[in-house]
Amino acid sequence: MTVATPRLAVERALLRDHALVIACDEVGRGALAGPVAVGAVVVDAARARRRIPEGLRDSKLVAEHRRPEVAARAAAWVCASAVGWSSPAEIDEVGIIRALGLAALRAIADLRAPGLVPEDAIVILDGNHDYITPAGGEGLTVRPIVKADRDCASAAAASVVAKVARDDLMVRLHDEHPAYQWVRNKGYASAEHRAAIRSHGLSPLHRASWAIADAPTLF
């Protein structure tokens, strides 16, 4: 099966009217444990004229062993990149949609460090729902785009940068709670993860408010 290569057509069109494009994509939304992460990358007109990094795809379409090198090329290609986080406790407190918005705003705030002004940009958000504006991003121009991580190179870059960052974190957290095998399942609902929850209960890093017993086994 041929996998479509993301393009820059959307970004180039948006850059006619905006100085910058910020693309955001989330990772870990459906996990049972660990934080949710939102990657954010910045593309300007010069970047949008460059060749897309080799192998760049939505992170779900990149083999796990290749993701770090693809993420490194993506981060070198864009003007700036950042990853924002929302903890399991925060997800339990405010809900996943609000947590996604807060994580996105934290990533976008980190982009200010090199002198970028997010208010001058248009924000591409993968999906069909703007969760950024209600979380406190009223000064931003946000455009949800369905399948942006598949079709837009900037969103694919945000996806793979966030995926590698979150996977690395879950591998490190595995050492604190090895029974759940996060080194393999990254906090998602694998059969062994569910079995460990039945045997050991929930760790402090599980999303305790979720109906974990009813969660589907994803792999």
Report in angstroms the alpha-carbon separations of 196 from 173, 182, 191, 203, 210.
Answer: 15, 11, 9, 10, 16
> Which pLDDT tens digits describe the chain residue by residue (219 residues)?
455 789 999 999 999 999 999 999 999 999 999 999 999 999 999 999 999 999 998 898 899 999 999 999 999 999 999 999 999 999 999 999 999 999 999 999 999 987 899 999 999 999 999 999 999 999 999 999 999 999 999 999 999 999 999 999 999 999 999 999 999 999 999 999 999 999 999 999 999 987 565 555 544
pLDDT of residue 219: 42
Q: Rounded to whole angstroms, how far apart are CA atoms 211 and 61?
A: 28
**Beta strands 36-43 and 121-126, pairing class:** unpaired
Question: Which residue type, as a one-letter code, is found at position 64?
Answer: E
Please name the fold of domain 9-172.
Nucleotidyltransferase; domain 5 (3.30.420)
Q: Rounded to whole angstroms, how far apart are CA atoms 45 and 14?
A: 10
pTM, full prediction: 0.93
CB 174, CB 182: distance < 8 Å:
yes
**Beta strands 80-86 and 20-27, pairing class:** unpaired
pLDDT of residue 214: 55
Helix (H, G, I), strand (E, B) or coil at 160: helix
